[in-house]
Amino acid sequence: MLERFHLEVLAAIKEQGTLTQAAESLNLSQSALSHSIKKLEGLLNTPVWQKEGRSLRLTNAGEQILILANRVLPQFKHTEHLLRQIAGGEMGSLRIGMECHPCYQWLLKVIEPYLEKWPEVDVDVKQEFQFGGLGALHNYEIDLLVTPDPIFKPNMTFIPVFDYEHRLVVSSAHPLAKQDSVMPEDLNEEVLLSYPVDPERLDIFSQFLNPAKCAVKAHKTIETTEIMLQMVAAGRGVTALPGWLVDEFAKTMAIKSLRFGKQGISKQIFLGMRKGEEQINYLNDFIVQAQSIK
């Protein structure tokens, strides 16, 4: 009863707002578009849109079809894109979403040998601070998600890549630098520097300060790792980053990392993907390459 064409029409109506613009976006005449929907409404025995002046408003039935369209049409487009690449002799494309902002340096180490091995694969990286990774993966906007905080869903697979310890970073001249670890109350008078993400997504809050009902003196955001660590080295604040990343920068900067509490904060980096795509050879090989680089 329902066909892909109907889904495309309802999606165009919702996006364009008028019958004329929807028909133009689909390269159809208004009469052809209207006739198809009237036929569908006859089969469904209910209207799917209502006219409001020059605009169209979807009915409850139309909204339900639109929900299906939003879920199914991206899958059609994704599969068709892969098929065109196969038919044209291309290997494919790999779109990577980043929810671990400090991991960008690690990702560069993975991508360099990967590009040499897979010259036919186009690689693109989406790194935004307000990035909704799981939604982008579900909606076929990306193919892999790099995240330290996986949300396990029935249609998603998250593969652990490597373990690390989340650590506090201070200037080498900071009084806390004499210690090997810190307690929540040690940070009461500190200025915390972090990436511009919601505080509830920061482990220093969710796993360290909030459970102890402690807070920092101030919280400031900085977008780049290098500038953040320069600020720390200059005594302008403290930050929290993966231990492996801090060790790398500590070779050339006056900074030191400390454990959070006596036990520390242990984390893992995961690569998330849609179930059923594990067999894609160039995607699977990226995971193998990523697991080999710490």
Q: Whole-model pTM above 0.85?
A: no
Spatial neighbors of 249 by CB under 8 A, at least 6 apart, are 225, 226, 229, 255
State the pLDDT at residue 20: 83
For 2, 39, 197, the CA distances from 50, given in Å and listed in that order, are: 19, 15, 41
SS3 163: strand
Report the distance separating Cα 205 and Cα 222, nearest Å: 17
Which residue type occupies 138?
A: H
For 107, 212, 241, 287, the CA distances from 100, given in Å and listed in that order, are: 10, 25, 10, 16
State the pLDDT at residue 131: 62
State the pLDDT at residue 4: 87
Q: Would the CA dihedral through 155, 161, 163, 165 be positive or negative?
A: negative
Mean pLDDT by groups of 10 residues along the chain of 294 residues: 84 84 86 84 86 80 89 82 63 84 87 89 79 83 91 90 95 96 97 92 94 96 94 97 94 96 94 86 89 81
State the pLDDT at residue 89: 46
